Amino acid sequence: MTRLTKLSRSIEGKVAIVTGAASGMGRATAQLFADEGAKVAAMDVNAGPLDAVVGEITRAGGAAHGWTVDLSYKDQIDRAIGEVASRFGGIDILVNNAGISIPVAIDSAEFEAAWQRSLDVLITAHVRTIRAALPHLRKSSAPRIVNIASTEGLGATKLQSPYTSAKHAVIGLTRSLAVELGPEGITVNCICPGPIRTGMTAGIPEEQKQIFARRRVALRRYADPEEVAHGTLSLVLPASSFITGVALPVDGGLTIRNA
Amino acid sequence: MSASLVGQNAFITGGGSGIGLACAKAFARDGAHVTLFGRSRERLEHGAAEVRAAAATGVRVRIVCGDVALEKDVADGVAGALDAGPLTIAVANAGTGGLGPIIATEEGQWSKIIDTNLSGTFYTFKHAGRAIARAGGGAMCAISSIAGARTHRFMGPYCVSKAGVDALVRNTADELGIANIRVNSVLPGLVDTDLSAGLLNTEAVVTDYLACMPIRRTGKVQDIAEAVRFLCGPESTWITGVNLSVDGGHHLRRGPDVETFSRMLFGDDLTEGRPNP
């Protein structure tokens, strides 16, 4: 049939940066975006697993290129994003997904180092990728920024103060930039993933996962990374032009109970 | 690209016009059967024709007349939707508005808004929830409003009804997760519909709305419908109990100023908190 509506639900041909693309939600996002026809700029600090993800995409007929980047360093971010723009001819979508979790007590001798490293990767890197990508996003017909926060951005867990503080900050940054960049048509949103089967939760024994899911998650399970990637995809569609500044829980209902 | 909704069956209240109709078109476009529920047969028939024109092959479109404020009507509507197969999706969209200072709001005005917006959503969740649970799971979505999250002076009953809807959404999501039913709401800001025509036709009000919106344009029904489609589809399997703003960022700021209307309809004294003795 002839289409009756104008808004496009396709990211075919769009250039999308995904940080932390070598594993978990980043890998699922890179793969989903490639499946949808986007040119994926995959960034990660781990070169081997990153090559594997890029290889999987290109062998399947998708478009992807990898950049090995330590997001704690501004010069590495600036260089990689500059190269993305020249290689693919622009940037339409930025997904700040990379994350680390360093559990640490507030009175620990290791606290200062854990705090600095956590904030470097979880919040300062977001600001830097956004600043580096902004001139290119401004030239896009549907510029989209999605920051991956966490349900820790809405609640708190003991011994996670650097992570929890940084994730709260991601939500604040998202809201602030939504207001600042909205008049230019750039949408800025974040996703708060809940219990997901990724490297970060791989150490939790299966039995503990099931107890947690039964007690605290409305849908009573852990999710696969792909279920989060679909949420991200929805926010970066050209059709999602009126959603901005939201912190969207993708958590099976964990935060309903303020858990 | 939209994933398929083939095999899904959706019940939509207030489906004959505005946001409800746009939702119905998005569902039918992607292959779901749809049942439009509403008070006016004429509006439903007109809406159904539009949905059929937008529908994928094999989609069945039906209408059921009724009032969401009456539990029996909603129960009958859900039963009607089952003609197309087990129910898997419900959208509690039917809503009404009203304007005036709380100190001048008549009991009838209050209950009309609460009955339609809040009780109507409850009846929809109750009866559609039972049907969807029997089908083995699915999704329900309510159309709330930015008014559920931010104060709107002189729209008290409406704000309260929508805040109630959002609380009902979270509680229903928490209860029905075990039945594999996801429950969410969408919070539109100013959208171009019949319900908001009065607001849209008043320049001072529109100017104030736009001043509070990072993305400075009026919402379109499609903006809302695509978000509802997402929250009811296979792309959002891990999202439940969420109240999602779709408002150009308006929720980041204050609610709108509709004082102009209150002065026009109720006078300066009641608008400024000075009831006559």
Q: Name every residue whose Cβ is closer than 8 Å to that of residue B126 and which is 6 or more positions away in sequence.
A: B71, B74
Report which secondary-structure segment, H or E, holds B253. Answer: none
Write out residues 40-69 of B within 8 Å (CB-CB) of A: 53-54
- B159-178 pLDDT, tens per residue? 999 999 999 999 999 999 99
Distances (CA, A) of B231 to A226, A235, B39, B245: 16, 12, 26, 12
**Strand ranges in B66-115 using DSSP code E only, listed in sequence order:** 89-92
Query: Residue A24 is which amino acid?
Result: G
pTM (global) more than 0.80: yes
The token pair at A25 is 């939600």
Report d(CA B215, CA B166) in Å as an integer: 24
Residue of B nearest to A250 (CA): B239
State the total domains in chain B.
Answer: 1
Evaluate whether residue B1 is within a structural domain. no
* Number of neighbours of residue A70 by Cβ within 10 angstroms: 14
Containing structural domain, residue B238: 9-271
Which residues on chain B are in Cβ contact (under 8 Å) with A233? 235
The parts of chain A modelled with pLDDT lower than 70 are 1-2, 4, 259
Measured at the alpha carbon of residue B203, what is the angle toward residues B199 and B208, in degrees to the nearest 5? 80
The end-to-end CA distance of chain B, in Å, is: 63
Evaluate whether residue B159 is within a structural domain. yes
Report d(CA B127, CA A170) in Å as an integer: 39
Evaluate whether residue B2 is within a structural domain. no
Q: Tally C-beta pairs within 8 A across A and B.
A: 130
Which residue out of B172, B181, B224, B238 would a mutagenesis test of the A interface target, given it has the greatest number of A Cβ atoms within 10 Å? B238
- Class of the CATH domain delimited by A15-196+224-252: alpha beta
Q: Just list the catalytic residues of B.
A: 158
Q: Where are the domains of chain A?
A: 15-196+224-252
Which residues on chain B are in Cβ contact (under 8 Å) with A180? 214
Residue B1 has pLDDT above 50, yes or no: no
Query: Residue A144 is which amino acid?
Result: R
- A89-146 pLDDT, tens per residue? 999 999 999 999 999 999 999 999 999 999 999 999 999 999 999 999 999 999 999 9
Residue A132 near residue A82 (C-beta atoms within 8 A): yes
Predicted ipTM?
Answer: 0.86
The token pair at A29 is 């996002």
The pairing of strands A247-250 and A187-193 is parallel
Taken in order A156, B231, A172, A93, is the CA torsion positive or negative? positive
Name the band, by pLDDT with cuts 50, 70 and 90, for residue B196: confident
Which residues on chain B are in Cβ contact (under 8 Å) with A192? none
Name the band, by pLDDT with cuts 50, 70 and 90, for residue B138: very high
**CATH code at position B16:** 3.40.50.720
The token pair at A2 is 């002839």
